[in-house]
Structure 1
């Protein structure tokens, strides 16, 4: 099954983008080649660009407060109280680490003049060639273990943000309402009831060779499946087949 995720709020959209960038950061950091660590550094700048556009720390703290309230309101006779207590402790620990961060999310990088010079050059196509940035070329020729240590040191101040994103999205995905459904001739509509839905997850068999597109508001979800297009846009071509799929509605 292929999983497609559709954020239904701008806040969750930002968290999913950052989660994806963090995943790529980890992949490139684990590599040994100079090109791996070049890609890791560019990814670090991408993290700073996305995180610096929003009041991310405040958003995460608000989401964690909401999660904590939801966990504490669960009926004791219906849950594993030890598990809930451990989750509440993790939420509080993560929130405390975020609270202790000072200033903007990206100000830790702004204090490093060398990184800021590289960041400016990185926005120029091919701007980090050896003849443009000889000091960077020298750094890339250092042993991979040393490069990895410095990359980890540069990203370490952002770790509370990463932990907060992982926890919020993990709790959100874990609170999913699962539905097995069929989209008649590729079209499906579902009324949203109850608590606000923040994330929709669609699983579909890759053998069907269809891609979902979704539009939603707080009352209704409209889902349409279509064949893949080479221009990456949602297909407007109607399907002649019914599409079985799994829909998960994630709420707080």
Structure 2
């Protein structure tokens, strides 16, 4: 008698994981841009009732009052780390170390889309909203000419901090090492944000919005990445089941 064939797993029309990740990231990026605009609309609504906007001028006056040469040097250094040169350099170091440690390019799937997306959100948000920065006479260099809302330095530094923290949690096993990495990431983003207010380059609400939007965007990219991993494991499992079924059929055929 011919050997009976083992039942084959039903084929599922699931797009490749990388395609799903790319599409999902683009959809979430559009959502992040809308969130930026919605955040400003909420801010404007609250401003009319003298709500959170009441923080802006007192925070700027307080920053002006506590300035000193030492604190100004620290704030300038923090701003540089979150700026156009410092942020990409730190991201490159994180990327190289993570890829080397994991012996794979997977961390690039997290870091590159996250940072490019944060740049898009910053540019779109500033152009849509066009909020004026604090008075130039209260600001310290380096001066900026782009609109104020949201704080790009803060948003980009926050995204990098969240993604770097997530990568560290996946790579580091010890509790002390994890706690140190998370604390370093959180304090770096917070320091960059506060430096923008201290230097008079942003209102406090610009910084708060930058942090909130940055956290939301970074977590969205992480969620999309987790979906990618789940789909990849599913495809690998289906491939293993198919290979086992084929091997069983071959064995039954040889023994028939």
Instruction: Give the TM-score, by structure 1 length.
Output: 0.30
Larger Rg: 2
**Structure ranking higher in strand proportion:** 1
Instruction: Give the TM-score, by structure 2 length.
Output: 0.30
